[in-house]
Amino acid sequence: MKRAYRLFAPLTLGATLALTSACSILPKGEPLDVYRLPVGQSAASPAAKAQTWSLQLLKPQASDALNNARIAVIPQGNLISSYKASRWSDPAPILLRNRLLDGFQRDGRVQLLSTDDSNLQTDLALGGDLQAFQTEYQGSTAQVVIRLDARLIRGFDQKILASRRFEVRQPLSETQVPAVVTVFGQANDALTRQVVDWAVGQGSLALKR
């Protein structure tokens, strides 16, 4: 036993020194620019009747490539990458859910709103699958692409009442990250308007209140 210990101790010390030396030369973490999703100004719908039903906004499902805070970009073909030293303030599904919540609040027709962060019973829920939330390059041109397969769900039995695919493609005139972020905001504004109008219409038909 003593002989075994003498052989082990120098190896352990050597490994420790090697790790310490390696840690001392590792580069420091690169600073990150953290971006919020810009919000445009949208007017309420004063002529429309306020709905009496309640709606919960669900975080959409997404692949591992989108379910994170990286700002995704497809530079060519099927290669998925992200912008260097830049990230969103939240993962993309949460950004989209919160933008939709803000859109419903600004629209004003559905006033009984919540998200899946709270365990509340509601008449309807709006969720779906986030299929794209990225910049895509095609040759020398680039565009922001957001694609959502939305589902309107009845609250008490989780039955799907309606579904629809929404897709917005917003061209980029500049490819620097701040300009890209601005266009993401514009694309989300356009998608939000479409989803809000659709959900209010379908919800009204489904509940007939």
DSSP 90: S
Helix, strand or coil, per DSSP, at residue 32: coil
Residue 29 within any structural domain of the chain: no
Quote the number of domains for the chain. 1
Helix (H, G, I), strand (E, B) or coil at 89: coil
**Structural domain containing residue 80:** 34-207
- The pLDDT score that the predictor gives to residue 103 is 97
pLDDT value, residue 19: 33
Q: Is residue 28 part of a domain?
A: no
Using CB atoms within 10 Å of the CB of residue 137, give its burial: 0 to 12 exposed, 13 to 18 middle, 19+ buried. Answer: middle
| 23 assigned to some structural domain | no
Which pLDDT score, from 0 to 100, does residue 119 have?
Answer: 86
Q: What is the pLDDT of residue 46?
A: 60
User: What is the reported pTM?
Assistant: 0.83
In contact, 87 and 95? CB cutoff 8 Å: no
Q: For 97-137, give the DSSP string.
A: HHHHHHHHHHH-SEEEEEETTS----SEEEEEEEEEEEEEE
pLDDT score, position 128: 98
- Tell me the C-alpha distance between 175 and 173, whole Å: 7
Which pLDDT value is given to residue 150? 98
Residue 33, C-beta contacts closer than 8 angstroms, at least 6 positions apart: 85, 86, 87, 177
**What pLDDT does residue 28 have?**
59
The answer to whether position 11 is within a domain reads no
Let me know if residue 158 belongs to a domain.
Answer: yes
pLDDT in tens, the chain (209 residues): 444 433 333 333 333 333 333 444 545 566 799 999 999 866 566 667 899 999 999 999 999 999 999 999 999 999 999 999 999 999 999 999 999 999 999 999 999 999 999 989 999 999 999 999 999 999 889 999 999 999 999 999 999 999 999 999 999 999 999 999 999 999 999 999 999 999 999 999 998 85
Write the CATH number for 170: 3.40.50.10610
As given in the structure block, the two tokens for residue 14 are: 């050597």
